[in-house]
Structure 1
Amino acid sequence: MPDIRPLSPTDLTALREAPLFARLDESELAAVAATGSMRRYDHAALLFSAGDPADAFYAVADGHVHLFALNEDGDQSLVTIVGPGESFAEAALFGAGRFPVNAEVQAGAVLARFDGSAFLKVLRGNQALGFRMLDSLLARQVFLMHEIRRLKAHSPAERLASYLLSLIESNTWPGHGKLPVRKQLIASRIGIEPESLSRALRRLDEAGVVCEGDDVLVKDESLLRGFCATFGGTA
């Protein structure tokens, strides 16, 4: 069971990092926050399964959540990894009313969970708030579609370089040691086959990246950043 506590003023400030809340004023954010609670997970746990009623949505304050689907053989296919400053499952709450994928929270993660019925009650009392949040969702969707198109335009090595740089810039990984997620999940995240990941790593010598067993080392972050800049892999 997770440790549960009310949202604090510090939590409210952190929530503004999530695109869903970025356009809300202080009173609107407080109204939404009143429907939520903070939860820390010391162990990995399944938050919900595909097909479950969408009774809540979440925002990640720390750590990661894996959204995945299961094929007919029961094998997992990673849909995305949700990290700090991102929200998820709100589309299911607004739309079909059931979660379309499975969600597993990783050990050590801290999430804000917003109760679905209480949240929808707030929206019914403030339609302008609902429109602003939907507008934020649409903007986020457009951004993700752009990212997918950009990702497919690059080689596996370029995709991996951009992903490693994003881990460093988000303070998710220090640039040395074991990667924060399994290599198989990284391969799924950047849209390549798992067996291609090792080859992609070997091709990043010119970007200052070396692989030693399970450890990856970025010898020179500026070199990696320059490599990514050559194909538009940095913001």
Structure 2
Amino acid sequence: MDHEVVRQAPLFAALDSEDAEALLAQMTPARMERGDILFREGEVGDSLYVIGEGKIKLGRSSSDGRENLVAILGPGEMFGELSLFDPGPRTMTATAVAETQLLGLGNDSLTGLLTGRPEVAKALLAALAQRLRRTNEHLADLVFTDVPGRVAKALLDLAERFGRPVEEGVMVSHDLTQEELAQLVGASRETVNKALADFAGRGWLKLEARAVLLLDVDRLRRRAR
């Protein structure tokens, strides 16, 4: 696992190299395969996690079994920190969508770190605020943006975090099934597939297995507005 990637997480933002290495030594490594569940919604949470490699999806389920995909997180991103500031049941289920390596830190160790280090707490709160802002934007999109616009916006967000430039455009290896992508957008698979097919027909993108090649990012940006 690349510790330099892990140290991009907000948890390490206010630490110097020596303190960061000391913190890494306290963290517990874990490896997951696609489909493995790290924790479930409703379970008591007592740790936060930082992703070193791979991807984690955070989602919720309704009483009738329907699923809503809240976020896809990748290397250098952190989750589970809410349990530190608001101890209680997990609000989401965390599942690996690719082979994933991560590091966990128990709340006891984290509380010890925060004692006398208000700058670390400030960095964690800033990360929570950023996530809340993104959640508010997502809720607004569900109300005010049509499905094709939401699909375009989701693809652009995935491209920003997981895309890599190639000769034809931007290759986005998102590792999501069509159903998972639909859950992320908040629409039916059929409606999302129709939007993707329309974009492909216009030459804006090319669909791949659990990936998409963006051919015309500017057009997608205009459609996402």
**TM-score computed with the length of structure 2 as normaliser:** 0.78
**Larger deviation, residues 87-96 vs 28-37:** 28-37
- The 1:177/1:139 distance shift into structure 2, 3 A limit, reads closer
Counterparts of 1:115 and 1:171 in 2: how far apart (Å)?
Answer: 28
Of stretches 19-28 and 192-201 in structure 1, the one that deviates more from structure 2 is 19-28
CA contact (8 A) 2:55 2:96 kept: yes
C-alpha deviation, 1:149, in angstroms: 3.4
Aligned partner of 2:222 in structure 1 is 230
Give CA-to-partner distance per residue, 1:189-224, whole Å, 9 cap, x none: 122222211111122132522458x68763x62x2x
Mark the CA change 1:227 to 1:151 in structure 2 (over 3 Å): closer, same or farther: farther
Q: Is the 8 A contact 2:163 2:173 kept in 1?
A: no
CA distance in 2, matches of 1:178, 1:143: 21
Given candidates 181, 185, 189, the residue that maps to 1:190 is 185
For the 8 Å contact 1:172–1:180, the answer to whether it is kept is no
Q: Percent identity?
A: 24
Q: Using the TM superposition, give the Cα deviation of residue 87 of structure 1 relative to its aligned residue in structure 2, in angstroms.
A: 0.9
Residue ranges of structure 2 left out of the alignment (5+ in a row) = none
Shift of 1:36: 0.9
Secondary structure in structure 1 of the residue aligned to 2:42: coil
Secondary structure at 1:164's aligned position in 2? helix
Which residue number in structure 2 is paired with residue 5 of structure 1? none
Cα pair 1:19 1:137 within 8 Å, conserved? no
Structure 1 counterpart SS, 2:195: helix
Give the TM-score taking structure 1 as reference length: 0.75
The aligned counterpart of 1:209 is 205
Equivalent residue for 2:124, pick from 133, 144, 151: 133
Please, which moves more after superposition, 121-130 or 90-99?
121-130
Structure 1 gaps, min length 5: 1-7
Give the counterpart of 1:18 among 2, 9, 14. 9
- Is 167-176 or 77-86 further displaced after alignment? 167-176
User: How far did residue 57 of structure 1 move?
Assistant: 0.8
1:115 aligns with 2:106: yes
The amino acid of 2:182's aligned partner reads: A
Within 5 Å, give how 1:14-163 maps onto structure 2.
14-42=5-33, 44-146=35-137, 148-149=139-140, 153-163=144-154
Counterpart CA distance in 1 for 2:130 and 2:37 is 28
In structure 2, the CA distance between the partners of 1:178 and 1:28, relative to structure 1 (3 Å rule), is: closer
